[in-house]
Amino acid sequence: MSLASDRANFSTAWAPAKVNLYLHVGAPGTGGLHPVDSLVMFADTRAADRISARSAPFIHLSVEGPGAKALQKAPNNLSLAAALALREACDRTGLGVSMVLHKVLPIAGGVGGGSADAAATLHVLNEMWGVDFGEAALERIAQQLGSDVPACVRLRPLVMRGAGERLIDVAAPDLPAILVNPGIMLETRRVFEKFDRLGANRAFRETEPPWGATPEEFAAALGEYRNDLQAAAVALCPEIERALKLMRAQPGCLLARMSGSGPTCFALFESDQAAAVAAERIAEAKKKYWVRATTFRGAPPIPLDD
């Protein structure tokens, strides 16, 4: 996690969008939890929230940016919860912080905005407070905050399995992409309920993730996978299908699919330029859409132990 010194002694961390390139979901088991098998990658700072923090007597959070108004009605904020959880874990009750969350990512958008905010908060306060927990310790704290938060702490291409608690690092190239939200919020709970009513995937099984050295090769391999929640989300929000159709029509588009429980969708492109042009065209055609050109950040193959 890259931290930067900001104005007035603030320390800052980025909270990028978490994108499910595929999401296979099984029937709910004991406790009602659905097993998942999902490849996750993270956007660059063009599609990211931002957390800034400086020392203060008490823990306080303010929210600004285009998404601030929607968050005012939220009963809990994961950034605040993350600060409290870290303070409790290090058993230093006197720690305080004044935080500013600059909210850009769509609320209830299927790109893990709240989880990314929480993870960024853990990283920035871990350094600012001098706690110096390692990644494994931060991931354990993150498990208390939500199933997506540990992945956002790790912030690299990975596969999520189980109920999201099993994380496996994977290799992937950098992928030029766009993110498109049709200007609608969609609760995860509603999508899973619809998924169950439509008939859960009882043939669910964990699969090896795709591989390709170039965006074209990777997108071709990814085409063999799917998002099992997409049909349920489209049934609740038909605008998702219209957004996907528009994305697929853009020159250079290699693949378009919904992320997570929606409604945000992504499209992979053959080049950064093609992605930028597509984002500009869609934003011009659909004024109410939230649109960003970005790059899903890759990682090299993990070296094998001798």
Q: What's the CATH code of the domain at 272? A: 3.30.70.890
| pLDDT for residue 4 is more than 60 | no
Q: Do 14 and 110 reside in the same domain of the chain?
A: yes
Task: Give pLDDT, residue 254.
Answer: 98
241-258 pLDDT, tens per residue? 999 999 999 999 999 999
Question: Rounded CA gap, 135 and 141, in Å?
Answer: 10
Helix, coil or strand: residue 55: strand
Q: Do 132 and 195 reside in the same domain of the chain?
A: no
Mean pLDDT calculated for residue range 259-279: 97
Question: Rounded CA gap, 283 and 19, in Å?
Answer: 20
In a domain, 306, yes or no: no
In a domain, 235, yes or no: yes
CA 84 to chain centre: 22
pLDDT band at 171 (very low <50, low <70, confident <90, very high): very high
Question: Rounded CA gap, 164 and 190, in Å?
Answer: 19
Which of 124, 121, 125, 116 has its CA nearest to residue 149?
116
Active site residue 18: yes
Question: Rounded CA gap, 188 and 53, in Å?
Answer: 29
- Parallel/antiparallel/unpaired status of strands 175-181 and 265-269: antiparallel
Q: Which of 18, 49, 103, 228 is catalytic?
A: 18
Residue 209 φ/ψ, nearest 5 degrees = -70, 160
In the chain, how many domains are there? Answer: 2
Q: Do 183 and 65 reside in the same domain of the chain?
A: no
Q: Do 156 and 194 reside in the same domain of the chain?
A: no
With beta carbons less than 8 A apart as the criterion, state whether 19 and 148 touch: no
201-235 pLDDT, tens per residue? 668 889 999 999 999 999 999 999 999 999 999 99
Task: Give pLDDT, residue 74.
Answer: 59
Q: Do 143 and 25 reside in the same domain of the chain?
A: yes
Residue 125 φ/ψ, nearest 5 degrees = -75, -30
Q: Do 143 and 43 reside in the same domain of the chain?
A: yes
pLDDT band at 97 (very low <50, low <70, confident <90, very high): very high
Q: Do 239 and 144 reside in the same domain of the chain?
A: no
Q: Do 43 and 158 reside in the same domain of the chain?
A: yes
pLDDT band at 108 (very low <50, low <70, confident <90, very high): confident
| pLDDT for residue 46 is more than 70 | yes
Cross-strand partners of 247 = none
Mean pLDDT calculated for residue range 46-75: 88
Task: Give pLDDT, residue 17.
Answer: 98
| pLDDT for residue 5 is more than 50 | no
Question: Rounded CA gap, 185 and 110, in Å?
Answer: 9
Q: Do 194 and 281 reside in the same domain of the chain?
A: yes
Mean pLDDT calculated for residue range 111-127: 96
> What is the model's pTM?
0.93
Residue 134 sits in which domain range?
Answer: 3-169
Q: What percent of the chain has pLDDT over 90?
A: 83
Active site residue 6: no
Mean pLDDT calculated for residue range 50-65: 94
Q: Do 163 and 254 reside in the same domain of the chain?
A: no
Q: Which of 37, 49, 117, 148 is catalytic?
A: 148
pLDDT band at 28 (very low <50, low <70, confident <90, very high): confident
Question: Rounded CA gap, 111 and 262, in Å?
Answer: 8
Question: Rounded CA gap, 23 and 260, in Å?
Answer: 7
Whether the bond between 75 and the residue before it is cis, its omega within 30 degrees of 0, is no
Task: Give pLDDT, residue 1.
Answer: 53
